[in-house]
Amino acid sequence: MGDIRTFGVVGSGIIGAGWAARALAAGLDVLAYDPESGAEHRLRKKIDQIWPVLERTGLFPDASRDRLTFCDSLEEVAVGSQFIQESAPERIDLKVKLHSQIDAAASKDTIIASSTSGLLPTEFQAQCVHPGRVIVGHPFNPVYLLPLVEVLGGERTSAESLDAAVAFYQRIGMYPLRVRSEVPGFLSDRLQEALWREILHLVNDDVATPAELDAAIAYGPGLRWALWGACQIFHLAAQPGGMGQFLKHFDPALFPWTKLEPPQITEALAQKMHEGCETLAGDLSIDEMEQVRDDALIGIIESLQKRNLGAGKVFNDHQHRIRTAKEAKR
Ligand X SMILES: NC(=O)c1ccc[n+]([C@@H]2O[C@H](COP(=O)([O-])OP(=O)(O)OC[C@H]3O[C@@H](n4cnc5c(N)ncnc54)[C@H](O)[C@@H]3O)[C@@H](O)[C@H]2O)c1
Q: Which is nearer to ligand X, 90 or 155 (CB)?
A: 90
Q: Determine the size of the site formed for ligand X (CB under 6 A).
A: 25
Are 235 and 172 contacting, i.e. CB atoms less than 8 angstroms apart?
A: no
Binds ligand X by CB under 6 A, chosen from 90, 160, 287, 288: 90
Q: Is 121 in the site for ligand X (CB under 6 A)?
A: no
Q: Is 81 in the site for ligand X (CB under 6 A)?
A: no
Angstrom distance (rounded) from CA 46 to CA 226: 26
Q: Is 115 in the site for ligand X (CB under 6 A)?
A: yes
Q: Is 116 in the site for ligand X (CB under 6 A)?
A: yes
Q: At its nearest, how many Å lie between ligand X and the CB of residue 34?
A: 5
Q: Is 137 in the site for ligand X (CB under 6 A)?
A: no
Q: Give the 3-state secondary structure of residue 158.
A: coil
Q: Give the 3-state secondary structure of residue 154.
A: coil
Q: At its nearest, how many Å lie between ligand X and the CB of residue 121?
A: 12
Q: Which is nearer to ligand X, 93 or 206 (CB)?
A: 93
Q: Nearest to residue 4, comparing CAs of 117, 155, 171?
A: 171
Site for ligand X in 140-169 (CB under 6 A): 140-141
Q: Which is nearer to ligand X, 80 or 139 (CB)?
A: 139
Q: DSSP code of 262?
A: P
Q: Is 14 in the site for ligand X (CB under 6 A)?
A: yes
Q: At its nearest, how many Å lie between ligand X and the CB of residue 199?
A: 16
Q: What angle do CA 320, 110, 20 make, to 5 degrees?
A: 50
Q: Is 71 in the site for ligand X (CB under 6 A)?
A: no
Q: At its nearest, how many Å lie between ligand X and the CB of residue 17?
A: 8
Q: DSSP code of 263?
A: P
Q: Is 117 in the site for ligand X (CB under 6 A)?
A: yes
Helices (H), the chain: 14-25, 39-57, 74-80, 92-105, 121-124, 159-171, 188-204, 210-218, 221-225, 230-237, 243-249, 267-281, 286-306, 311-329
For 116-131, the DSSP string reads -SS--HHHHTTT-SSG
Neighbours of 131 (CB within 10 A): 22
Q: Which is nearer to ligand X, 6 or 117 (CB)?
A: 117
Determine the interface stretch with ligand X among 32-40, 61-69, 173-181, 204-212 (rule: CB under 6 A): 32-40
Determine the interface stretch with ligand X among 111-119, 128-136, 260-268, 302-310 (rule: CB under 6 A): 111-119
Q: At its nearest, how many Å lie between ligand X and the CB of residue 304?
A: 22
Binds ligand X by CB under 6 A, chosen from 16, 132, 137, 153: 16
Angstrom distance (rounded) from CA 30 to CA 279: 38
Please state whether 106 falls in left (phi above 0), alpha (psi between -120 and 50) or beta: beta
Angstrom distance (rounded) from CA 58 to CA 25: 7
Q: Is 39 in the site for ligand X (CB under 6 A)?
A: yes
Q: At its nearest, how many Å lie between ligand X and the CB of residue 15?
A: 3
Q: Is 38 in the site for ligand X (CB under 6 A)?
A: no
Q: At its nearest, how many Å lie between ligand X and the CB of residue 183?
A: 16
Q: Is 6 in the site for ligand X (CB under 6 A)?
A: no
Q: What angle do CA 123, 129, 133 make, to 5 degrees?
A: 70
Binds ligand X by CB under 6 A, chosen from 2, 89, 256, 282: 89
Binds ligand X by CB under 6 A, chosen from 50, 63, 88, 203: 88
Angstrom distance (rounded) from CA 145 to CA 53: 8
Can you give the binding site for ligand X, defined by CB under 6 A? 10-16, 33-36, 39, 87-90, 94, 98, 115-117, 138-141
